[in-house]
Amino acid sequence: MATIRQRNDRWQAIVKRSGYPTQSKTFTLKKDAEKWARLQERLIDAGEWIDTTVRDRRTTLGELLDRYAKEVSSGKRGSRAEAYRIETLKKLGLAKHAIATITPQMIASWRDSRVSEVSSGTALRELQLLGHVFTMANREWGVPISKNPVSLIRKPPAGKPRDRVLTTSERTALVSSCNECRNPWIKPVVVFALETAARRGEILALRWNDVDLSHRTAMLHVTKTGQPRRIPLSPQCVGMLNTLPRSVDGNVFPVSVEALKQAYERAVTRAGITDFTFHDLRHDALTRLAKQGLSVLELRAISGHTTANMLQRYVSIDAGELAMKLG
């Protein structure tokens, strides 16, 4: 008799018969799991069951990475960054190996080599992606893997959080430099980021229907956590928004990610600023808001961080300023 069990929000069917390897497969619906299990039992009883694991064991990591990109990554908001990581992993010699032959030792060897080339945080994110590929292969795609090799090795540290914030003169120089961009939307986007601590994707997805200038708020629907949040708008931000023309498509900032990325990098260079990414604007904004006396709960409402620990990575506290408060 087959075993049907629920795992999280999915159903796993397990078929065990003496003289045959254990078979299992996961489904969204319980009835599909039961149907598959009955089919396997009928095939065994009729002597028509064929072991497909021989074929599955020849599946390479590269093939799984391609499938992951198509079926999993494509549905994520961070699909662009993840697609880049997948292409990086596909260039490794490890990607040519059959999935069943990859051992924890092979993964550990790659990890050690990778941390000598990139930051430990980058290596960790790539390792986490690799681990999820193995998990999907085992749980969703029926590829026989006894244990996820990534789960059996030591992970590199997450790395030191960035603490780069702008000085007053740098902030002025950056805004001035953005004003020189050919694309007229770059400066408004940067000003909005500096005033609200919103992420790039959240800013570019903002629509005029979600902006309430009379109450100085904006609703962000496309967020990293998937949870919409309403953010306050400073007087400077409201003043800037009031000067913007309304685009036909309804977007507040009708500019593409790539156009913003390239123009912003050139603006930073023109301003004579080094080591300051677009995401650092969020760090800078939250640090300034913290200095204005906002509480942790208020900062989290603005930033969208689910925990105070995550928020702490984005707020730089100057020991000298703390000393001044001590008198």
Q: Which residues are catalytic?
A: 199, 224, 279, 282, 305, 314
Contact assessment for residue 26 and residue 42, using Cβ atoms and an 8 Å cutoff: no
CA 125 vs CA 136, 160, 325: distances in Å: 17, 14, 39
Distance CA 53, CA 33 (A): 19
195, 285 in Cβ contact below 8 A?
Answer: yes
How far apart CA 243 and CA 251 sit, in angstroms, is: 15
Largest CA distance in the chain: 86
Helix/strand/coil percentages in the chain, nearest 5: 55, 10, 40
User: Taking a C-beta distance cutoff of 8 angstroms, is the pair 233, 219 a contact?
Assistant: no
Q: List the one residue out of 262, 244, 268 whose CA is nearest residue 176.
A: 268
Both structure tokens of 321: 């300023």
Using CA atoms, how far apart are residues 152 and 140, in angstroms rounded to an integer? 20
Q: Which of 131, 157, 155, 135 has the alpha carbon at shortest distance from 145?
A: 135
Sequence-separated (6 or more) residues with CB below 8 Å from residue 219: 210, 211, 212, 228, 229, 230, 231
